[in-house]
Chain A
Amino acid sequence: MTFTLQLIFAGVCVGATYALIAIGLTLTFWSTRTMNFGQGSLLMVAAVAATTLMSAKLSAYAAVPIALLLSTVLMILVERIAIRPLARLGGSMGWVVATLGFGLLLQGIVARFFGSQAIMFPSLVFGPLDFVTIAGIRVSSQYLTVLACCIGLMCVMEIFIRRTRWGRAVRAVAHDAEAAAVAGVPVKRVVVASFAASGALAGLAGILVSQITGTVEPQFGFNLVILGFVAAVFGGMGSIAGALIGGIALGVAEKLAGGFVSTAFGDAMAFAILMAVLAIRPQGLFGRREILKV
């Protein structure tokens, strides 16, 4: 029983990070109907940058913001060179391939110059062995911190989207970019801002996840983004709450399958869930079917 509860708790925490990644993907989907297939490399770059800076004896208070700035800038670059010129051509093949290429490029560069071995990620707040006991089960302090960060970030995002002018602008562009432009919304700036925010969220997710995994490597992040995509699709590519529920459900399912069958089975199952959800309900559990326009 305790074992199961521990698995569920771990699943909730891991799932929250999936949800965070999902929101990063959703943001750009809202503004441009595109997403970065190389997003995983941004998670990795931020985590590697933070690690490298901290091992150079830089304080975490400086290292983390620099790492986040890096992933933000990279994501703005993605929009500029891999998405904007290609989305214009119509169809999604161009930008899917180009963003994937960008991700592989980053991955290749990190592997070449920082080595392809996994490196230890320093603990930011708590050590890997710290724990608190809640209702009789041991709960890792690191996991708790990650969970709290994710949920906090999502609340901020939700309030931002619902309550602020910029949030309304994002929603307007998501609904109909042309109409928004006519109504005076600076669509281009909203698009760039959504990519910047998406990059920052990816960097944050990378650093948070590496708190849980303890190590980072060039491939780190790739699978995570697929899992984040599953969470996003669960949520119908639109709602933050939907992504959170989707992410947590996925995380729990993965940890339970991993704990009772095998870790690899957990991974394969997550991909199988992805295919099943897309095949059965492509509009997501909380989304609405888009109308075919002829």
Chain B
Amino acid sequence: MNPAREALARVADARVALVLVVVLGVAAEFASASSIQLWSFVLVNMLAAQSINILTGIAGQISLGHAGFMSIGAYGSALAMIKLGLPLPLSVPLSTACSAIVGWALSFAVGRVREFYLAMMTLGFGMILYELVREWSSLTGGVAGLSAIPSAALASLSAFGVKLTPARYFQLMLAVCALVIWLLRNFIKSPYGRAFFAIQTSEVAAGSMGIPRAATKRLAYTLSAALMGLAGAFYAHLVGYLGPESFDLNRSVEALVMAIIGGLGTLVGPLLGSLLFTYLPERLQLFAEYQFIVYGALLLLSFILLPRGLAGLFLPRPRYYAATQVTGGAKSEPAAPSSDSEKLLQIDGVSIAFLGLKALDGVSMDVKAGHLLGLIGPNGSGKSTLVNLICGLYRPTGGRILFDGSRVDGLADHRVARLGVIRTFQDPRLIRAFTVRENVLLGAHRLYSSNPASFAFRWRGAMAQEGRFLGEADRVIAQVGLAHVADTPVHELTYGDQRMTELARAVLARPRLVLLDEPAAGLSEAETQRLEAVLKSLKDSGATVVLIDHHMEFLRGLVDEVVVLDSGKAIYRGPMAAMYQDEKVVEAYLGSSVEEAEPAKRSIDA
């Protein structure tokens, strides 16, 4: 590791950061007015860049209209002081809250679209607010702007009875920013922070772990809008004048550039970005002149040249859970008790069609509690479609699905998962940059009961919960035989290890019903044996398992009974041994008549 990386890694350490903050605060007493002005702008820009970072870098939602939130915070706080006569300690939180509420409301609309539609929609949001600020002259002063805002620059600002000089105002902002960063850091490490990363990677996989995508996005928008609103409020009282041109597209772009070049997905990145792009225009006349040309060029090239930003260049990726940090005992809890109802899962005449093509046609079957059911059938027979239906990814066009006696068809996927129905995918869906432990922990999402705030403030209940699941995760990781790679990012692992990671994630969720989509495919002999052991212990713990696989020998040792699907119909159900004698099954596999049934047995066995 080179010295620069080491130094920066130290800055990222909480204690060093705290010392730096104190030193900066003291230094403000002696610094020149122009330095303090510049430092203050770094803080405002840093908040704006963190706002983009939370939304785009962590939750994966693009926004090109973030200046809109900034204008809400800025005009909100300025007007609250001027028109309502509120003091600074009230006006700033109030306008921050306003911005957060708008972010929350916006998330309902933008939550319905994804990818570049989202980019366009947020661009439109920014434009609407810009027009609003410009045209609502009676309130905002229109194009002429809003002047005489109580501010540090005009020496007209006070809080708690103290006159705020620029240095005092900077110290106040510094303290607030330090607190905000600390809260963000705790939040990002929490299950809710992990959920942000999960919806960025795959909304389908996130839903399968019980992460509600809409609510998670709402939280991301609300948080991000609050940060941007706070940046705006601080900005208003820093400069004392607001005009609509301060909140046009260029402002949104600036925040984006700082966050992207600094490094999305880390907390240090946006800080680096804001430092760089606050100082450069100030120190380099040439840069100021070509500022927007440079911003354009940076946006154009950054993802190719600096995919992880400056932070990625200088810092190792932050790891949330090194083994040494594990606290709390590995207290193992019994799996959720199975209900008394004999049939845990009932599928009743379920059909689904895609563009007129019937993928499933009146399939009925049930799975007894505590059983291990094999679901087999030729390719395209509808096995994965059935799993997707049970998990709530698709809605059946006909029929009913009951889990533990209550209907689950029509429920959203994360709600089904929260009931304890957990699945794996044919191709493992993991967060590639996360370690094995971080990925496995995602499985526990449905079991956390503390709210996001208690994680941000590190309250005892939340921390105890986190410690408990960390311990449990380590136990499960050991069980699947991945203890030696627990802190390795999964993209560095073999395919087999990735599949085992996904399995461990499912086990940690304490599932009542597990649906495994071809878990043995691509596994080595040794891995297959470990898989068998894990499945047996799952069954012993009381979980019910539905296993899709083509590997007959593997299934034979495990299943209680099998269901055979063919062309969207359930054609056989019963013990595995009798399956080979069934006419329909043989025909489905060989496409031949009964007379030729003898070779079929061998082909299924193969």
Contacts and interface: CB of A to CB of B under 8 A. Distances in A.
Interface of A: 34-35, 37, 81-82, 85-86, 89, 91-94, 96-98, 100-109, 111-112, 222-223, 226, 229, 233, 262, 264-265, 267-268, 271-272, 274-275, 278-279, 282, 291-292, 294
30 contacts: A37-B116, A82-B300, A85-B304, A96-B116, A98-B300, A98-B301, A101-B295, A101-B298, A101-B302, A102-B300, A104-B292, A104-B293, A104-B295, A104-B299, A108-B290, A112-B293, A223-B127, A229-B120, A267-B127, A267-B131, A268-B127, A268-B132, A268-B135, A271-B127, A274-B120, A275-B109, A275-B128, A278-B109, A279-B121, A292-B204
Nearest to A110: B293
Contact of A105 (B62, B123, B296, B393): B296
Given A93-B303, A104-B296, A279-B121, 13 more contacts: A85-B304, A89-B303, A96-B119, A98-B304, A100-B64, A101-B301, A267-B131, A271-B124, A275-B121, A275-B124, A279-B110, A279-B113, A282-B113
Contact of B296 (A91, A106, A233): A106
Which 4 interchain pairs have the tightest Cβ spacing? Answer: A101-B299, A105-B296, A104-B296, A108-B293
Given A34-B116, A92-B115, A92-B119, A226 B296 contact: no
B62 A92 contact: yes
B354 interface: yes
A34 B91 CA distance: 43
B128 A86 contact: no
Say whether chain B's binding surface is mostly helix, strand, loop, or mixed. Answer: helix
A275 B290 CA distance: 33
A203 to B, nearest CB: 20
A107 B127 CA distance: 18
B131 A92 contact: no
Contacts of B64: 37, 96, 100
A278 B115 contact: no
Contacts of B293: 104-105, 108-109, 112
A264 B132 CA distance: 9
B503 interface: no
B116 A92 contact: yes
B230 to A, nearest CB: 24
B56 interface: yes
B116 A108 contact: no
A111 B292 contact: yes
A112 B288 CA distance: 12
B277 to A, nearest CB: 14
Nearest to A41: B296
Query: Which among A91, A103, A294 has the highest number of chain B CB atoms within 10 Å?
Result: A294
A89 B60 CA distance: 14
A91 B115 contact: yes
- Which of A96, A226, A282 has the largest count of B CB atoms less than 10 A from its CB? A96
Interface string B575-606: 00000000000000000000000000000000
A114 to B, nearest CB: 13
B131 A282 contact: no
Given A97-B303, A291-B355, A268 B131 contact: yes
A264 B131 contact: yes
B598 to A, nearest CB: 38
B384 interface: yes
Given A93-B60, A101-B296, A264-B131, A226 B120 contact: yes
Contacts of A81: 300
Nearest to A106: B296
Contact of B384 (A265, A272, A294): A294
Nearest to A279: B109
Nearest to B111: A279
Interface residues of B, number: 51
A141 to B, nearest CB: 31
Contacts of A37: 64, 116, 119
B388 interface: yes
B335 interface: no
A55 to B, nearest CB: 24
Nearest to B425: A294
A180 B354 CA distance: 22
B112 A292 contact: no
B23 interface: no
B131 A93 contact: no
A291 B292 contact: no
Contacts of B249: 222
A244 B384 CA distance: 41
Given A35-B116, A108-B290, A294-B388, A93 B121 contact: no
A226 B124 contact: yes
Interface string B303-319: 11000000000000000
Contacts of A262: 135
A222 B303 CA distance: 23
A233 B116 CA distance: 12
B121 A101 contact: no
Given A93-B56, A223-B127, A226-B127, A108 B292 contact: yes
Contacts of A271: 124-125, 127-128, 131
B369 interface: no
B117 interface: yes
Contacts of A265: 135
Residue of B204, B256, B299 ringed by the most chain A CB atoms within 10 A: B299
B297 interface: yes
A98 B303 contact: yes
A294 B124 contact: no
Contacts of B56: 93
Contact of A274 (B121, B131, B296): B121
B430 interface: no
B520 interface: no
Interface string B273-297: 0000000000000000111111111
Interface in B173-198: none
A35 B119 CA distance: 11
Nearest to A85: B304
B247 to A, nearest CB: 14
Contacts of A97: 62, 256, 260, 299, 302-303
B48 interface: no
A276 to B, nearest CB: 8
B227 interface: no
A105 to B, nearest CB: 3
A93 B388 CA distance: 28
Nearest to A100: B299
A105 B290 contact: no
B515 to A, nearest CB: 13
A253 B292 CA distance: 34
A37 to B, nearest CB: 7
Contacts of A98: 299-301, 303-304
Nearest to A86: B303
B426 to A, nearest CB: 9
B573 interface: no
Contacts of B570: none
Given A275-B121, A275-B125, A96 B295 contact: no
B134 interface: yes
A294 B393 contact: yes
Contacts of B199: none
B133 to A, nearest CB: 11
A93 B301 CA distance: 13
A93 B256 CA distance: 12
A261 B134 CA distance: 15
A103 B123 CA distance: 14
Interface string B117-145: 10111011101100110110000000000
